[in-house]
Amino acid sequence: MTMGRARGVVLIGMDGHLIDVEADIGQSLPAFILLGLPDASLRESQDRIRSAAKNTGIGLPARRLTVNLLPASLPKSGSVLDLAILMSAWAADGKVQGTQDIVFLAELGLDGRLRPVRGVLPAVAAAQAAGAETVIVAEQNAQEAALVPGMDVFAASHVVQVASAFATKDSAAVLHDVPGLQHWTAAGHVSDQEQSDRRQTGASEPEVSSPAKSDELDLADVRGQHEARFALELAAAGRHHLLLIGAPGAGKTMLAERMAGILPPLDDRAAMEATAIESISAEPQAVSELRRIPPFQAPHHSASMAAMVGGGARIARPGAVTRAHQGVLFLDEAPEFPRHALDALRQPLETGQISLHRAAGSVTYPARFQLVLAANPCPCGLNVGSGTRCRCSVAQRRNYLAKLSGPLLDRIDLQIQVDRPRSAMDALGPPGETSAQVRTRVLAAREAQRQRLARWDLVTNSQASMQLLTGALRLPPRATAHMDSALDHAAISLRGYVRVLRLAWTIADIAGMNQPGADEVDAALQLRQSADRS
């Protein structure tokens, strides 16, 4: 046979596309022709493939080899198709058979070793969604590939193992004594198997990492700061965005860094998404288990817009907002960020995703994160309380927080002031509750929200719209009496009114109540206004 087929996957952004690789050997002078819009990095694979083939002892025929990557109109890049191209070429030469339905995902070294690639998890998931059942990866990627439930994952460290698993009579003689492929499930390496009984072992459920590791930052380290701790708990429970304003040394950063520790562990779908993002942005082979701990991203304030939302020359790479998907994006010293970088957050805050358009194509990454901002009240940071020690001019003070634009602040439900510990009892007193204790309450509050909001297809209070809060979930007038009068006196806006309602619901959920009463609404109003004082 002079035609061979194999399959591979290329990733464009997070979307995997199943690629059919066709190879044809023509009766003409030796040449390697790669069709189907390969870019420079993919073109290099032809030389890797020839060397790898030669150094395994099987070799490629000295003829014209035409390789076509289907769909031909999709631009392809990267080294992930190396193995698929070589297997299709060998199939065309009659050295291997039965490769047409197998997905191959590995880069080749010149010596024929299989090397790990980035993004194996989303690639395997896409292959499965497209109907593929068996995937062959480099050994270092096996654990990651096996995270996709229901996929048959085989791993090898050298291309001869792959060749021998699909060998025809023609090449079997060269390949005797070669170890077989290793079958992997989520629990790990199962067994070396022959090709004939490859399909008999089913994959088990993916193993999960424990929700929280003990070496994490713990909330017990924060002394005093009862109001701020409560605000952090509310933010975690209701998934409200949070702004902490306070003097230097008040503990804003310390509090924000402990946010991820009190968030509930990610469910299966969220964990798969977060792990897939990790897989495409981390080094190859860095991923070995599903990420259950919500990610925490804290870019420095020198971050450019491209670093925040994603960027890069050809297909844009994920930025901080995407790496914080399903977790927390913490911007310390928020007013120091370039204003356009902050305003670029508005679209992902609204839609939960970010679309990046470049010459080579557009990609959409998920970006559903919880925003935590920390800021000083003014450049010198001392404009708190009476503000007598502050050395800033009036204009400086006014301009500093104005860097956080109105539309951005509009989306932040919880805006509180963090004061420096004012008494020795606070600062040196007994440690507060641990993260684990707080997380228990957060979990219960999340569950209460989920049950209440399921009718409207929502999960957390922060997603509740004005129509819902003033309609189906309207509170009795005596509960909202104080806030109604604040609205009447134009002390808060209608938008602020809705945010207070959202917070009030979360306070009630934390307290285990069915719905907020006057106390909860007043507490929410108080929290909301604590930052307005400055």
Partner 1 sequence: MRAKDKTGMLGEEIAAQYLSTQGHTILHRRWRCPRGELDLITHDGEQLVAVEVKTRRGSGFGSPLEAVTPQKLARLHRLLLEYCAAENRFQSARRVDVVAIVLSGSSVPHAGEHLVQRLEHLKDVS
User: Which run of H or E residues covers position 23?
Assistant: strand 15-26
Give alpha helix (H) positions in 215-374: 226-238, 252-257, 259-262, 268-281, 305-309, 320-323, 339-343, 346-351
Give alpha helix (H) positions in 150-304: 159-165, 169-172, 226-238, 252-257, 259-262, 268-281
The rounded distance, in Å, linking the Cα atoms of 514 and 98 is 61
Map residue 354 onto helix, strand or coil.
strand
Pick the closer one to partner 1 by CB: 2 or 493. 2
Q: Smallest gap, in angstroms, from Cβ of residue 47 to partner 1?
A: 13
Q: Which of 437, 421, 445 is nearest to 508 (CA)?
A: 445
Q: Which of 496, 498, 524, 492 is nearest to 510 (CA)?
A: 524
- ∠ CA 386-392-395, rounded to 5°: 105
User: Considering the rule CB under 8 A, would residue 29 count as an interface residue with partner 1?
Assistant: yes
User: Considering the rule CB under 8 A, would residue 351 count as an interface residue with partner 1?
Assistant: no
- Please provide the DSSP assignment of 96-121 as one string: B-S-TTEEEE-EE-TTSBEE--S-HH
**8-state DSSP, 167:** B
Pick the closer one to partner 1 by CB: 43 or 339. 43
The region of 27-35, 306-314, 328-336, 475-483 touching partner 1 under the rule CB under 8 A is 27-35
Q: Which of 1, 2, 15, 28 binds partner 1 (CB under 8 A)?
A: 28
Which positions from 260 through 279 interact with partner 1, judged by CB under 8 A?
none
Phi, psi values for residue 464, rounded to 5°: -65, 135
Q: Smallest gap, in angstroms, from Cβ of residue 63 to partner 1?
A: 8
Helical axes 481-488 vs 518-530, angle rounded to 10°: 40
Q: Smallest gap, in angstroms, from Cβ of residue 110 to partner 1?
A: 15
Phi, psi values for residue 245, rounded to 5°: -115, 130
User: Considering the rule CB under 8 A, would residue 27 count as an interface residue with partner 1?
Assistant: yes
Pick the closer one to partner 1 by CB: 70 or 174. 174
The region of 22-30, 135-143, 328-336, 437-445 touching partner 1 under the rule CB under 8 A is 22-30
Beta-bridge partner residues of 105: 137
Q: Smallest gap, in angstroms, from Cβ of residue 31 to partner 1?
A: 8
Q: Cα dist. 169→53, 158, 174 in Å? A: 18, 20, 10
User: Considering the rule CB under 8 A, would residue 30 count as an interface residue with partner 1?
Assistant: yes
Which positions from 42 through 71 interact with partner 1, judged by CB under 8 A?
62-63
The region of 25-33, 66-74, 247-255, 335-343 touching partner 1 under the rule CB under 8 A is 25-33
Q: Smallest gap, in angstroms, from Cβ of residue 64 to partner 1?
A: 9
The region of 24-32, 198-206, 415-423, 474-482 touching partner 1 under the rule CB under 8 A is 24-32
User: Considering the rule CB under 8 A, would residue 359 count as an interface residue with partner 1?
Assistant: no
Pick the closer one to partner 1 by CB: 66 or 415. 66
Q: Smallest gap, in angstroms, from Cβ of residue 176 to partner 1?
A: 23
Q: Cα dist. 78→37, 58, 133, 359 in Å? A: 12, 25, 23, 18
Which positions from 221 through 250 interact with partner 1, judged by CB under 8 A?
none
The region of 23-31, 230-238, 298-306, 401-409 touching partner 1 under the rule CB under 8 A is 23-31
Q: Smallest gap, in angstroms, from Cβ of residue 65 to partner 1?
A: 12
Question: Which residues form the interface with partner 1 (CB under 8 A)?
Answer: 27-30, 62-63
